[in-house]
């Protein structure tokens, strides 16, 4: 597996691949790989002749009181795992190469970011959209794979690609879960064994809402009550949002239908912010 740090070198390599008729599928990541990331890489493998994984902990998508400095980093482990998945190239730039002196452009997707993480993490999606646009340009990717755990991120990127006529196919990958239902996340490594029960309350709450909806309950106020009560029954949980939204617009809804997504963000022990989501009218 080739490793490149410089954006200019990355683009030169990508141009060479395109000239030889080889397509590139990009998996953008911030590292600290888990089984979910590896699954994205395997999906990418089936989509193009070349798989590029970017590894960049993007400072502009973290708020001032968020975990940028503490975000888990292990380049040696990540590069070994990517190589084992048959990744062709790992692109790992430095922040100064991505945002050199004088940098002043921001990409903002305005509507979809009014809700959910966009509301509780101001500026987060500006950072995400800007860095993802840069990664698309630098790697010249033909397609890119993103996990559906970050449902709003995927929606924002699809919107940006459509609005800016970017010639890239966006591929979503279903949430990868641990055996007990916990959605895989790099932030799970912050969880202590004693946090597990509280962390599992998110996926359990989604199942609870699904069961109630399957039994005929369609009123969001009732379902939201069940979801909140379940999560709050675990010590150390603090709900950031538990929102029933339309999956296309991300706007809150009052009655559940086939497009209704339950999106959750919960802080565990005031330290670990977990997110999860699922369609409400879907069998477990
Ligand atoms: O989902 C992530 O890991 C990041 O938000 C991304 C898409 C790599 C942008 O920094």
Q: What is the pLDDT of residues 21-75, one digit of tens each?
A: 999 999 999 999 999 999 999 999 999 999 999 999 999 999 999 999 999 999 9
DSSP 270: T
Q: What is the pLDDT of residues 119-136, one digit of tens each?
A: 999 999 999 999 999 999
pTM of the prediction?
Answer: 0.97
Q: 18 and 138: one domain? A: yes
Report which secondary-structure segment, H or E, holds 12. helix 7-19
Give the separation between CA 258 and CA 224, rounded to whole angstroms. Answer: 17
Count of residues making up the chain: 284
Which residue out of 5, 34, 37, 124 is catalytically annotated? Answer: 37
Structure tokens at 108: 């903002």
What atom in ligand 1 is closest to the CA of residue 157? 7
178 domain residue, yes or no: no
Taking alpha carbons only, the member of 49, 54, 53 closest to residue 16 is 49
One DSSP character per residue, 111-179 reads: SGGGSHHHHHSTTHHHHHHHHHHHHHHHHT-SEEEEETTSHHHHHHHHHHHHHTT---EEEEEPPPB-T
Segments forming the whole domain that contains residue 229 = 186-277
- CA 243 to ligand 1 centroid distance, Å: 22
Q: 118 and 64: one domain? A: yes
- CA 30 to ligand 1 centroid distance, Å: 6
CATH assignment at residue 99: 3.40.50.620
CB 2 within 8 A of CB 14: no
Using CB distances shorter than 6 Å, the residues near ligand 1 are 28-30, 58, 61, 128, 131-132, 150, 153
């Amino acid at each position: 597996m080739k490793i490149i740090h410089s954006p200019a070198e990355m683009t030169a390599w990508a141009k060479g691949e395109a000239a030889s008729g080889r397509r590139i599928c990009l998996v953008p990541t911030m590292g600290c790989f888990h089984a979910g990331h590896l699954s994205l890489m395997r999906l990418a493998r089936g989509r193009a002749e070349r798989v590029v994984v970017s590894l960049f902990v993007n400072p502009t998508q973290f708020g001032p009181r968020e975990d940028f400095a503490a975000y888990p980093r292990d380049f040696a482990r990540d590069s070994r795992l990517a190589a084992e998945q048959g990744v062709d190239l790992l692109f790992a730039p430095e922040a100064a190469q991505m945002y050199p002196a004088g940098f002043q452009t921001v990409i903002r997707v305005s509507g979809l970011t009014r809700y959910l993480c966009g509301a509780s993490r101001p500026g987060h999606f500006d950072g995400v959209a800007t860095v993802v646009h840069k990664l698309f340009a630098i790697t010249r990717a033909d397609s890119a794979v993103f996990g559906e755990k970050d449902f709003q991120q995927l929606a924002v990127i699809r919107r940006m690609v459509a609005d800016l006529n970017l010639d890239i196919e966006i591929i979503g990958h279903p949430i990868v879960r641990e055996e007990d239902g916990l959605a895989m996340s790099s932030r799970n490594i912050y969880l202590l064994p004693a946090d597990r029960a509280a962390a599992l309350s998110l996926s359990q709450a989604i199942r609870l809402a699904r069961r109630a909806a399957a039994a005929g309950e369609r009123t969001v106020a009732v379902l939201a009550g069940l979801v909140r009560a379940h999560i709050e029954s675990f010590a150390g949980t603090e709900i950031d949002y538990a929102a029933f939204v339309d999956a296309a617009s991300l706007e809150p809804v009052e009655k559940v239908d086939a497009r209704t997504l339950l999106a959750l963000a919960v802080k565990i022990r005031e330290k670990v912010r977990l997110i999860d989501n699922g369609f409400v009218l879907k069998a477990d």
